[in-house]
Amino acid sequence: MTPRGAERLLVVDDEPTVRELLSATLRFAGFRVSSASTGAEAVAAATGEPPDLVLLDVMLPDMDGFEVVRRLREERPRGRDAPLPVLFLTARDRQADKVTGLSLGADDYVTKPFDLEELIARIRAILRRTTGHRADLLAVGALTLDTEGHQVTRSGLPVRVSPTEFRLLRYLMDNAGRVVSKAQILDRVWAYDFGGDASIVDTYISYLRRKVDTEEPKLIHTVHGVGYVIREPRQ
């Protein structure tokens, strides 16, 4: 199961460091992320399960990003009128490249090196325009978390949480349906690379349950010997 309320992004870049940094940053920002290192991989990934947006490097080893966009337009399934949103990433700042990219229907064009916060803001702006959904809103059942407004609601009613509780809940909701271990939670929520007192996780899970699981069905579950998971009620 994948998190609901989180838009899917495809990161395409042949530089492993850039690709991994972008993927990790975007996942932390609340997106679901897959990646590709070549144009052919990008076309296969985007046509197999179309993402909500593609971050596409212009300079790829097998074909340039412009050709990738052309192929994506050709391969786009019939019945889907809206083109796949594309944000070009490039080390080149030539006006001709920008004109070419935008003429192919790209939604934005960012020159490397770029500021990650600005890039995320541009992604969210594109998603608001193209999907009509809020890219900063996570939802599991009747529970919602606004990553920008730092607000939590259940069944439309506000839930007051501390900053640490918010980070923990966000991490669980980013991974909705997937069991995460105490070590993973410590690393992502408390930034402990190793060690640390794992009992703090149990304590804060208990705090969260008292606040967000005050009604049925319960959303936060313990998987004994493994960790915790937040998931929608099973029908």
17-37 pLDDT per residue, tens? 999 999 988 887 778 899 999
Residue in the structure block whose two tokens are 């996780």: 201
Of residues 33 and 232, more confidently modeled: 33
Dist CA 153 CA 145 (whole Å): 7
Helix 116-131 with 16-28: angle, nearest 10 deg = 60
Confidence tier at 96 by pLDDT (50, 70, 90): low
Of residues 139 and 202, more confidently modeled: 202
Tell me the pLDDT tens digit for each residue of 116-144. 878 888 888 788 777 665 557 788 888 98
Confidence tier at 197 by pLDDT (50, 70, 90): confident
User: Pairing state of beta strands 32-36 and 8-12?
Assistant: parallel
In the beta sheet, which residues pair with residue 79? Answer: none
Six-digit token string for 171: 């991490």
CB 212 within 8 A of CB 169: yes
